[in-house]
Structure 1
Amino acid sequence: MNAPLVIAGAGIGGLTAAVALTRAGHRVLVLERASALSEVGAGLQLSPNACKCLDQIGVLEAVLKTASAPEAIRIRSARSGKALARIPLGSEASARYGAPYLLSHRADLQKALYDKARSFPSVEIRFGHSFIGSYVDEAGNLGLTFQAEDGRNLTLQAKVLVGADGVWSRVRETLNGHATARFSGRTAYRATLRADQVDPGILRDTGLWLGKDAHLVHYPIRQQSAFNIVALVAEDWNEQDWSAPADRSTLLRRFAQWAPDARQLLETPDSWLKWALCGVPATGHWAQGKTVLIGDAAHAMLPFAAQGAAMAIEDALVLASVLTPETADIANALRTFERQRRERVRKVQKTAEENGRIYHMSGPLALGRDTVLRMSSPESLSARMDWIYGWTPPS
């Protein structure tokens, strides 16, 4: 039997790639270092460009059963609490882009993708296997080594290796000319509440609060039965690992001067987790020989455009469109994938970085930003996202 296409990582990007590549006719083996699927992270935003991809691979229907659909993004001033702008979503976004804007728990999306992948007999998923290294033999065959949880090594041949193993990708280390992940100088604090713990009035929308060196995002998930809160702060990182439990009192002091409504929301969770926000420049090499990177492994970005998951999902469908079972020159096909994706991803990455600067303004710059937002029409604010949300995957 021909060697399988191997995917390192069973996150959002890896599982989307497994489904898309299997639908394209490949036999796929997914190897994930974690021992099982777990609820790592919390909520994520699935904009219409991502939902169009999920619909094309037959996963959107399952996602809709657990997701929430916000009516709008409401932007407020952290200092005064006053409304600055409203960007319509809901039925208006669906009509504008041909797909919904959804809010999902990461674990719900991951499970929907996992269940879909498992429905194909040509997909195998193994947990507890960490990528160790790769080699090319004299005949040009790609060989891979993974280590199982019991310490034994698994060596196999692969048609292609897809590195979907996240921001700290081990597969990326095997490619020449790719930068390592770097800390952005910002931290994300995350908490999840029951819906009955918050004002029902904020369960319909995504909320975005803009403040000095910090901003706050919140939205409902799991069909408005739960509520996700993310506080993003410019600060140093002094923990031993890149995620850790957060000190609640320290976080609340950081937001002590914010408007009462924001402070009340931040005071509601009993505990918080925090993550160092790290990025990977999209300018590095994504493809080399028969190895290719997708998602955060290739271009981890700041969450200030809510496009990290969407870009990984898009990557998977574009990869499947250029890599067919009949592809003779695999290395060229993988370079084609990189060329087709790099400029869009680089632009989204740059937009996220710029949003972070704008969100965290203070003084006269913040006053100018707030004035522009108040004077902007909902239509003009929506139009700014057309180039991202209007993207359609190759058929």
Structure 2
Amino acid sequence: MRAVVVGAGIGGLTAALSLRRAGWDVTLVEQAARFTEVGAGIQLAPNATRVLRRLDVLDAVAAPAARPSHVSFRTWSDGAEICRYALGREAEEEFGAPYLLLHRADLHQALSAAVPSESVRLSTTVVDITQDDDSAQVTTATGERLGADLVVAADGIRSAARRWLFGEDEAVFSKTAAYRALLPVAEVADLGLPPLGVWLGPDRHFVHYWVRRGELLNVVAVFSTGAPAQESWTDRAEPGEQLREFAQWDPRVLSVLERAGQVLRYGIHTRTPLTRWNLGRVTLLGDSAHAMVPFQAQGAAQAILDAAALGDALTDTTPAEVPAALDRYVARRLPTATSTQAASTQAGRDFHLPDGPEATARNARMAAHAGENRFMPQSAAWGADR
């Protein structure tokens, strides 16, 4: 059984590992000439790390990660704690896998190291995907055609495969953007920051957590904006721009933003939910299927769960059974991914409430929930592999 996976991001790499575990011969194609260190921090909840354990890569992923003891939600103006939830050892004991904070490049490195190099084709741009009743074909920019029983399109939020399968459908600007930065621990050691902090304010929220074994602080400062912002890991903010956007915030937040060296500006985009991801022998996976705002830290986790479900559905299949197996994969994953998209969008609305009765009621609800529950509301999904 032969599969071609298009795109060597987190979803594509995990899909390659999952399909190989299911006995498939996998070719992973990626248009970049080499893997580079892009992105910044990423959170992996136990629903994702449990899959990584099944794929025998959790130890490599966890080695450079930080393991937060708790998450603290705070008010924007004075940093007063609204509530906190347990993570760390308590979450691992409850859900059977750890909650990890790590640099995206470290996760990518651990996953790519587990895929045999002979299975990876870099500098390979896919220009078309076609299929008939018996096979699928991937056409590259050089005119080469790669035949397979299955094609997995993990080609990201700007997925060309999604357009080829289901017609024109562009990424949607969420009307939010984020400043991103990484600071050495020595730069912020005097601020007494929690291991994972989420500060809530009008039209903005501020997230920080440790990565690289606690050596770096990852910062994500999200703000609402009507001006379109490019989705880019490399666009730099104007000097002092982040301080103007977060003026009047708690001095600790301003200190972090002021001490940050290189600050990047990233436009947050999503994709409209689909009613199906697959057509014949071709399926979408990860951001190409369900890109979401990152306000519940589940984007990468959902791609990893896609990969696990795909491998499960395609275990012990024959070529003729591939379309039906893909139907099972999508039936298992689409409802959860779609509901997670919606929940992440709603979380952004809740985080950005203006000062006044609504924010006060939100804080009271959060405090009441934390008083009765050790873990965040979204942790209800952490125990499920779907």
For each residue in 1:193-251, what CA deviation from the matched residue of structure 2 results, as whole angstroms up to 9, or x when unmatched? 11111126756611100011010000000100111000111113445665521113122
8 Å Cα contact 1:176-1:285 kept in structure 2: no
8 Å Cα contact 1:146-1:155 kept in structure 2: yes
3-state DSSP class of the match of 1:153? coil
Match of 2:221 in 1: 231
Match of 2:246 in 1: 255
1:69 equivalent to 2:67? Answer yes
Q: Distance in 1 between matches of 2:171 and 2:114?
A: 31
> Superposition pairs for residues 46-65 of structure 1, below 5 Å?
46-65=44-63
Counterpart residue identity of residue 139, structure 2: T
1:336 equivalent to 2:328? Answer yes
Q: CA deviation at 1:178?
A: 7.5
8 Å Cα contact 2:177-2:229 kept in structure 1: no
Match of 1:175 in 2: 165
> Superposition pairs for residues 26-175 of structure 1, below 5 Å?
26-118=24-116, 124-136=119-131, 140-147=134-141, 152-175=142-165
Q: Which one is further off, 374-383 or 322-331? A: 374-383
Q: CA deviation at 1:273?
A: 0.9
Q: What is the identity percentage for the equivalent residue pairs of Structure 1 and Structure 2?
A: 37
Q: Distance in 1 between matches of 2:192 and 2:143?
A: 50
Match of 2:299 in 1: 308
Q: Which runs of 5+ in 2 are unaligned?
A: none
> Superposition pairs for residues 215-294 of structure 1, below 5 Å?
215-238=205-228, 242=232, 244-294=235-285
Match of 1:391 in 2: 384
Q: CA deviation at 1:317?
A: 0.5
Counterpart residue identity of residue 131, structure 2: V
3-state DSSP class of the match of 2:145? strand
Q: Which one is further off, 84-93 or 265-274? A: 265-274
Match of 1:346 in 2: 338
8 Å Cα contact 2:201-2:353 kept in structure 1: yes
- The alpha-carbon distance between structure 1 residues 241 and 219, as it changes in their structure 2 partners (threshold 3 A), is closer
Q: Distance in 2 between matches of 1:381 and 1:180?
A: 40
Counterpart residue identity of residue 387, structure 1: A
Corresponding residue pairs, total: 383
8 Å Cα contact 1:32-1:130 kept in structure 2: yes
Q: CA deviation at 1:170?
A: 1.1
Counterpart residue identity of residue 353, structure 2: M
TM-score by structure 2 length?
0.94
Q: Distance in 1 between matches of 2:7 and 2:362?
A: 40
Q: Which one is further off, 183-192 or 365-374? A: 365-374
8 Å Cα contact 2:71-2:194 kept in structure 1: no
3-state DSSP class of the match of 2:336? helix
Q: Distance in 1 between matches of 2:95 and 2:48?
A: 11
Q: Distance in 2 between matches of 1:104 and 1:13?
A: 16
Q: CA deviation at 1:91?
A: 0.9
Q: Distance in 2 between matches of 1:38 and 1:124?
A: 18
Which of the residues 306, 329, 349 maps onto 1:357? Answer: 349
Q: CA deviation at 1:34?
A: 1.0
8 Å Cα contact 2:230-2:266 kept in structure 1: no
Counterpart residue identity of residue 343, structure 2: T
Q: CA deviation at 1:371?
A: 2.5
State the Cα RMSD in Å.
1.9
Match of 1:380 in 2: 373
Q: CA deviation at 1:35?
A: 1.1
Q: CA deviation at 1:284?
A: 4.0
Q: Distance in 1 between matches of 2:287 and 2:230?
A: 21
